[in-house]
């Protein structure tokens, strides 16, 4: 048996070999016109598909000139601003109506939304003993991994798991949409109990409540929440639900679905993509970064001191030394992400209600300073601005949602977008996604062991 220390040293040596022999001369990417990150030389994504589900605008064309503009997001053709204003005006929750729109392509009428809510509520239960046998076993701080485990394990309870007919896939997607809040919240409670020695309680969802209300009900010991809290969480879900076919987790759904695999596997793969800190995992990083800022900046209202910390972040001298200001920047948006703009007005209200206006002012200052600092220090193709996740962690903290659940809340919303895209892929594209990788290695003759 190898001792732990020896094992580590050997792995260190082997990882040096990985680095040496996996290095590719960076000039070759240019020579062979390889689009790193599937982006062209202007940072624009390579066209990989067509979609009807949502559309994103970040530029306008004037006299054949591409000009960055305020971001615009349409779900099935409807502007996200109109959708949000519409359901709020009717004093409704938006998650269910928006899920119907994204999955079926039309705004539901009264009967359709009532039936849909009933279908969701009747799917909102886990198989017998699933909480005891799956969720309570091997709990983890990483609730995204627990969610993926839960989703993959649910396939063993489905006789038709591998059936890719649209009816079966739709049923599976709706069931997953219904149970995601339970999988996430119960996984958190299991972790909180077994790893952190806190009391555990498992509250059942109430079929008469919205998804947002049920999340708060299942999370809190007393099952209570205010109307504003539930409405803000519901808004967060609506804003995170869908973002085109090219975002990393939805593209993963397309890639994996194109191989003919089952719904459970493709949704688990999407979860594994979403948790990355450059994608949905950014909401955790923003809050951790803000905590680090508070430890290193003495006067939060001092623009110079805050700006100097942000410069250190971009210079890889602060926080996780990755050179990123989390919550800022986007692969498509330039001047603004409309979701962040909508969110901000509600965040302001909530921070007033919770007495957190000083922290809100700090976030606002960073939102203003960060783009200028990034623009000064990086190659700019367009512009950078706060993205949807800049304020989301702050909101979740004000709602008393623990850090471990931030990215799972994103997943509870985005499973709807993934589902719509999986169905769109299965209906329209019967071709496995298989891009090319040019080999830049030389052919070598095998050397017998005794000659090496
Ligand atoms: C739901 C979501 O997924 S939203 C995104 C959540 N992710 C984050 O908030 C993490 C922080 N942001 C980022 O890492 C990036 O902005 C991304 C990954 C989202 C987009 O990156 P890109 O597509 O490369 O953005 P863009 O083309 O505008 O970047 C231009 C330059 O600015 C840099 N940049 C962009 N955002 C940031 C940032 N927040 N901090 C530091 N540098 C940044 C890029 O690295 C790039 O520099 P380089 O060409 O010198 O490497
Ligand atoms: O579109 C992207 O690349 C990332 C994003 O904002 C999302 O998935 O919501």
Over range 166-195, report the average pLDDT: 98
Site to probe by mutation for ligand 2, drawn from 331, 333, 391 as the one with most ligand atoms within 8 Å of Cβ, is 331
Q: What's the 298 CA to ligand 2 centre distance in angstroms? A: 34
Whether 247 is in the pocket of ligand 2, judged by its Cβ within 6 Å, is: yes
Report how far residue 426's alpha carbon sits from residue 165's, in angstroms, rounded to the nearest whole number.
9
Whether 331 is in the pocket of ligand 2, judged by its Cβ within 6 Å, is: yes
Helices 389-398 and 282-296 pack at an angle, to 10 degrees, of 80
Report how far residue 189's alpha carbon sits from residue 184's, in angstroms, rounded to the nearest whole number.
9
Report how far residue 338's alpha carbon sits from residue 317's, in angstroms, rounded to the nearest whole number.
31
Q: Domains in the chain, ordered, with CATH?
A: 70-276+403-428 (1.10.580.10), 282-398 (1.10.230.10)
pLDDT(61) > 90: no
Residue with CA closest to ligand 1 atom 7: 278
C-alpha dihedral (279, 248, 77, 228), degrees to nearest 10: -30
Whether 401 is in the pocket of ligand 2, judged by its Cβ within 6 Å, is: no
- Give φ, ψ of 141 to 5 degrees: -65, -25
- Of residues 366, 354, 348, the one with CA closest to residue 293: 366
Report how far residue 144's alpha carbon sits from residue 150's, in angstroms, rounded to the nearest whole number.
10
Selecting among 240, 330, 337, 421, the annotated active-site residue is 330
Q: What's the 56 CA to ligand 2 centre distance in angstroms? A: 10
Identify the pLDDT of residue 191. 97
Report how far residue 89's alpha carbon sits from residue 231's, in angstroms, rounded to the nearest whole number.
12
Identify the pLDDT of residue 318. 97
Q: What's the 27 CA to ligand 2 centre distance in angstroms? A: 29
- Ligand at minimal distance from the CA of 249 is 2
- Of residues 105, 96, 72, 100, the one with CA closest to residue 211: 96
Query: What percentage of the chain has pLDDT greater than the value 70?
Result: 100
How long, in residues, is the chain? 452
Identify the pLDDT of residue 298. 94
Here the tokens at position 258 are: 């194109």
Give ipTM to 2 decimals. Answer: 0.98
Site to probe by mutation for ligand 1, drawn from 251, 252, 321, 329 as the one with most ligand atoms within 8 Å of Cβ, is 329
Report how far residue 357's alpha carbon sits from residue 347's, in angstroms, rounded to the nearest whole number.
10
Identify the pLDDT of residue 276. 98
How confident is the model over 5-27, as pLDDT tens digits?
Answer: 899 999 999 999 999 999 999 99
Residue listed under structure tokens 């759904």 = 253
Report how far residue 328's alpha carbon sits from residue 334's, in angstroms, rounded to the nearest whole number.
11
Is 193 considered catalytic here? Answer: no
Q: What's the 289 CA to ligand 2 centre distance in angstroms? A: 20
pLDDT(430) > 90: no
10 Å CB burial of residue 159 (0-12, 13-18, 19+) is exposed
Q: What is the mean pLDDT of the chain?
A: 96
Residue with CA closest to ligand 1 atom 12: 329
Residue 312: pLDDT band (50, 70, 90) is: very high
Is 389 considered catalytic here? Answer: yes
Q: What's the 293 CA to ligand 1 centre distance in angstroms? A: 20
Report how far residue 64's alpha carbon sits from residue 405's, in angstroms, rounded to the nearest whole number.
45
* Half-sphere exposure in the Cβ direction for 259 (13 Å, CA): 12
Q: What does DSSP assign to residue 39?
A: B
- Of residues 273, 250, 237, the one with CA closest to residue 423: 250
Decide: 121 and 178 in contact? Cβ < 8 Å. yes
How confident is the model over 245-280, as pLDDT tens digits?
Answer: 999 999 999 999 999 999 999 999 999 999 999 999
10 Å CB burial of residue 70 (0-12, 13-18, 19+) is middle
């Amino acid at each position: 048996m190898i001792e732990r220390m020896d094992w580590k040293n050997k792995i260190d040596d082997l990882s040096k070999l990985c680095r040496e022999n996996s290095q590719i001369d960076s000039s070759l990417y240019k020579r062979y016109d390889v689009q790193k990150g599937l982006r062209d030389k202007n940072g624009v994504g390579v066209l990989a598909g067509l979609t009807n589900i949502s559309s994103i605008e970040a530029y306008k064309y004037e006299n054949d000139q591409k000009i960055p503009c305020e971001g615009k997001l349409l779900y099935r053709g409807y502007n996200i601003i109109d959708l949000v204003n519409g359901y709020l005006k009717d004093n409704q929750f938006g998650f269910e109506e928006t899920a119907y729109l994204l999955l079926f392509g039309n705004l539901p009428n009264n009967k359709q939304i009532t039936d849909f809510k009933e279908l969701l509520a009747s799917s909102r239960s886990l198989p017998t003993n699933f909480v005891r046998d799956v969720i309570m076993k091997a709990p983890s701080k990483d609730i995204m991994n627990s969610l993926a485990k839960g989703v993959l394990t649910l396939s063993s309870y489905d006789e038709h798991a591998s059936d890719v007919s649209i009816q079966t896939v739709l049923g599976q997607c709706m069931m997953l949409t219904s149970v995601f809040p339970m999988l996430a919240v119960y996984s958190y409670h299991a972790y909180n109990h077994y790893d952190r020695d806190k009391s555990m309680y498992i509250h059942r969802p109430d079929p008469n409540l919205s998804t947002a209300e049920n999340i708060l009900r299942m999370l809190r010991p007393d099952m209570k929440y205010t109307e504003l809290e539930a409405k803000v969480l519901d808004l967060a879900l609506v804003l995170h639900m869908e973002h085109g076919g090219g975002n990393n987790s939805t593209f993963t759904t397309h890639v994996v679905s194109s191989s003919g695999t089952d719904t459970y596997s493709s949704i688990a793969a999407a979860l594994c993509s979403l948790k990355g800190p450059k994608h949905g995992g950014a909401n955790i990083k923003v809050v951790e970064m803000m905590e680090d800022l508070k430890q290193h900046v003495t006067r939060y209202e001092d623009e110079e001191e805050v700006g100097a910390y942000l410069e250190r972040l971009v210079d890889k001298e602060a926080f996780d030394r990755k050179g990123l200001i989390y919550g800022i920047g986007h692969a498509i948006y330039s001047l603004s992400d409309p979701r962040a703009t909508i969110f901000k007005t509600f965040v302001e209200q909530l921070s007033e209600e919770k007495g957190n206006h000083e922290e809100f002012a700090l976030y606002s200052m960073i939102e203003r300073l960060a783009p200028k600092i990034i623009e000064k220090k990086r190659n700019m193709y367009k512009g950078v601005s706060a993205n949807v996740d800049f304020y989301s962690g702050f909101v979740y903290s004000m709602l008393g949602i623990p850090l471990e659940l931030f990215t799972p809340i994103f997943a509870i919303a985005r499973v709807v977008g993934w589902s719509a895209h999986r169905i769109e892929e299965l209906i329209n594209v019967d071709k496995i996604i298989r891009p090319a990788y040019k080999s830049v290695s030389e052919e070598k003759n095998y050397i017998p062991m005794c000659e090496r």
